[in-house]
Structure 1
Amino acid sequence: MTTTDGFTAPLGEEGPITAHPRPIIVGVDGSTESIIALRTAGRVAELTGAPLRAVLAWQYPSVAYDGYATMLDWSPEAQARDDLSATLSTAFGAASPDDLSSSTRPGAPAPVLIAAARHASLLVVGSRGHGGFAGLLLGSVSEAVARHSPCPVLITRGPEDVVLRSLSTTDERPIVVGVDGSPASLEALRIAGDAAHLLGSPLHVVIAWRKPASFVGGRSLPPAWSPEDDARENLHRSATRVLGRSLPPGTALLTREGPAAPVLLEAARGARAVVMGARGHGGFAGLLLGSATEAVIRHSPVPVLIVPDSSDRAERIEAMTPATADGGLPPRPDATARSAPEGEHE
């Protein structure tokens, strides 16, 4: 294992990485969830032969507090290095993956991870965290990572044994993937198909459909039109386009009536993982916008893999990679500063 303050080839550096497989990035903060994420990422690296890169974000305290000025020997960067080393030791002990390196990065968690993922094959994060990745899957940080990561994001939902079992080649549970015909969902289907082949897993391809709101109250649908038939045709078209006309053994095409998030959560019961596109339309419209995202990410009993539309990768990287996430040091607060007493704000 190599533990460094920066990778040999800095993450976020422009230019393609062609000499070696693209790395797997894992967000670390010392929490139990990030330890599970590390072990999960290690297993994926073992299966795929990809290098593993552990990243911990650090920041100066945003507001100085009483006693901070006396902590002249304390360094958040040094603390981050110590935390990272301790977490790696807890996760792997003496059996660290051969191609493991680590880095502490200055900046807020989401931009740091998104910058680190610029040339990655996968970004792995825990479902909850603290420290450098506090609230990683709650609110704006979760939304930023899910929407803007340039590579797929694996969220390690569930207890450690459930998560690691999902990567076993002897697990007979299916991989569930939601499709709606959008580019992101087709990419999700491709990756889910590759994962099913790698793990020897059945693949359940699911599409959700609903009657238009104006017809839910009992009004008849227009003659010769059926939203369920439309969904079934969309599902078959998507599956044959990505997987081929001869579907792989163990592949099931499933149409389910209902909103996207409940349909996927129901399908996740008894599955090993759920895969979905970062953006979509039709049955999975707005899947990563608002309540549907929170429902799937927060309530899935199994790991969730979010797959971006690869066609707009460059735009997402440009939009979500500030200078501080790419190696620039954020400004250090004045150690002598004090928060203004109540009633004395400017």
Structure 2
Amino acid sequence: MTVIVERVVLATDGSEPARTAATHALFLARVLDAPLHVVSATGTSSAAAETAEPSVSAAFEAEEAVSAVVRRALLADVRATSEVADGPAATVVERAVGEGDLLVLGRRGQTGSGRFLVGSVAERLLGAPPVPTLAVPAAATDPDYRTVALLADGESSSGSAAPLARRIAAATRATLQPLAIVDGRDAAIASPETLRALEAEARTRLNDVVAAAARDAVESGGTVRTGEPAAELLAHVERVGADVVVVGVGGSGGENRRPWPTEHRAGGVVASRVVRHAEVPVLVVPSVSDSVKR
């Protein structure tokens, strides 16, 4: 499967975390040869915007936030468009993205009551991402992606997470470091024969990712671990020195695949924990079917 990023979309409120996210959005737009679309929201409805005096300030700040990024894009030779819309921030962002987009958000950011809250938007959108969504922590100021970590579970391997991880690794000449996990809760109650089967399945997932990376001329490593998925992935990120981590969410991974526990099968809880605790950007990728539905 080939994943093409047609556009990078940045949600910004002008806060420091949002400015850090903008640095990553500009970097990705440049290396992926994609245009950048910058979006911000006033946090007020269209009707309120016509009468509420505070909305004038909110609109001005939103315009300033997108203009600052557009100026940076011009200096970086990145094609850029911008949009400021009335309405709740998450709703504005959801309306702004579509198939083929990669959304970038600051993990935290709050500029005022009722206005664009990047942290709140991230919480809502990462729970059920409409498109691949990169959550950038405020401390991740350097978007030099040399190592890309990937959770090689059923969702990531069979969906669009692994192809997107390979695409980013190829564009940045990074090493791909996939991790396949045998859930420790399953291992604790499994018979020796079942445990061997679980380990073999994890190894197969890992080998599939490594083989696909080789076809794309992407250097890769990879390992299999047993334990709690989120904790193991966070440890893997530290161990390999990852600069970004990719996690797939949504879907069931296929009718013939073993019914994993909810957090491992869908990846939602794993992704949420990793986003909250990782010191590097986390790219949360919905399954192909989920992203097409939106």
Q: Is TM > 0.5 for Structure 1 vs Structure 2?
A: yes
Counterpart Cα distance in 2 of 1:79 and 1:180: 46
* Cα distance in structure 1, aligned partners of 2:265 and 2:220: 24
Long gaps (5+) in structure 1:
1-20, 65-70, 318-346
User: Does the 8 Å contact 2:140/2:280 carry over to 1?
Assistant: no
Q: Could you tell me how far 1:263 is from its partner in structure 2? A: 1.3
Change in CA separation of 1:200 and 1:96 when aligned onto 2, cut-off 3 Å: closer
Q: Specify the alignment match of 1:293 in structure 2.
A: 271
Cα pair distance change 1:247/1:257, threshold 3 Å = farther
The size of the alignment, in residue pairs, is 271
Change (3 A) 1:226 1:276: same
**CA-atom RMSD in angstroms:** 3.1
Q: Which range moves more in the overlay, 111-120 or 254-263? A: 111-120
Q: State the Cα distance separating 1:160 from its structure 2 match.
A: 4.5
Contact 2:132–2:283 under 8 Å retained in 1:
yes
Please tell me whether residue 277 in structure 1 is matched to residue 255 in structure 2.
Answer: no
Matched letter for residue 130 of structure 1: Q
Deviations 1:198-235 (A, max 9, x none): 1111111111103555x627x85247944222311232
Alpha carbons 2:43, 2:87 under 8 Å: kept: yes
> In structure 1, what is the equivalent of residue 224 of structure 2?
255
CA distance, structure 2, for counterparts of residue 238 and residue 256 of structure 1: 16
Deviation at 1:259, TM superposition (A): 1.4
**Residues 185/196 of structure 1: CA separation in 2 closer, same or farther (3 Å cut):** same
One-letter code aligned to 2:102: L
Does residue 111 (structure 1) correspond to residue 91 (structure 2)? The answer is: yes
1:170-222 deviation line (CA, Å, top 9, x unaligned)? x4xx2100121236754111111111111111111111103555x627x8524
Would the alpha carbon gap of residues 254 and 38 (structure 1) be closer, same or farther in structure 2, given more than 3 Å must change? same
CA offset digits 1:230-259 (Å, max 9, x no partner): 31123224543x446x57452113101111
SS class of match (1:30)? coil
Once residues 178 and 89 of structure 2 are traced to their aligned partners in structure 1, the CA distance between those partners, rounded to angstroms, is: 33
Structure 2 residue 155 is matched with structure 1 residue 182:
yes
Q: Does 1:305 align with 2:269?
A: no
Query: Which of these two proteins has the greater Rg computed from alpha carbons?
Result: 1
Letter in 2 for 1:312: D
- Residue among 33, 45, 48 paired with 2:17: 33
Following TM superposition, by how much is the alpha carbon of 1:55 offset from its aligned partner in structure 2, in angstroms? 0.7
Letter in 1 for 2:188: V
Indicate if the aligned counterparts of 2:134 and 2:283 stay in contact, CA closer than 8 A: yes
The answer for the alignment partner of 1:128 in structure 2 is: 108
TM-score, with normalisation over the residues of structure 1? Answer: 0.68
TM-score by length of 2: 0.79
Is 1:229 matched up with 2:209? no
Question: Does structure 2 conserve the Cα–Cα contact (< 8 Å) formed by 1:156 and 1:303?
Answer: yes
1:188–1:277 Cα contact (<8 Å) kept? yes
Summarize the Cα distance change of 1:120–1:84 in structure 2 as closer, same or farther, 3 Å threshold.
Answer: farther
Kindly state the Cα deviation for residue 123 of structure 1 after the two structures are TM-superposed: 0.6
AA matched with 1:105: A
Structure-2 residue corresponding to 1:216? 188
The CA deviation at 1:90 is 4.8
Partner of 2:60: 82
SS in 2 for 1:104: strand
Letter matched to residue 27 of structure 1: A
Q: 1:224 to 1:304 in 2, by over 3 A?
A: closer
Task: Work out the CA distance in 2 between the residues paired with 1:286 and 1:37.
Answer: 26
Q: Quote how far apart the aligned CAs of 1:49 are.
A: 2.4
The separation in 1 between residues aligned to 2:172 and 2:43, in whole angstroms, is 39
Unmatched 5+ stretches in structure 2: 254-259
Percent identity over the alignment? 24
Find out whether 1:202 has 2:175 as its counterpart. yes
How far apart are residue 128 of structure 1 and its match?
0.5
Corresponding residue SS for 2:279: coil
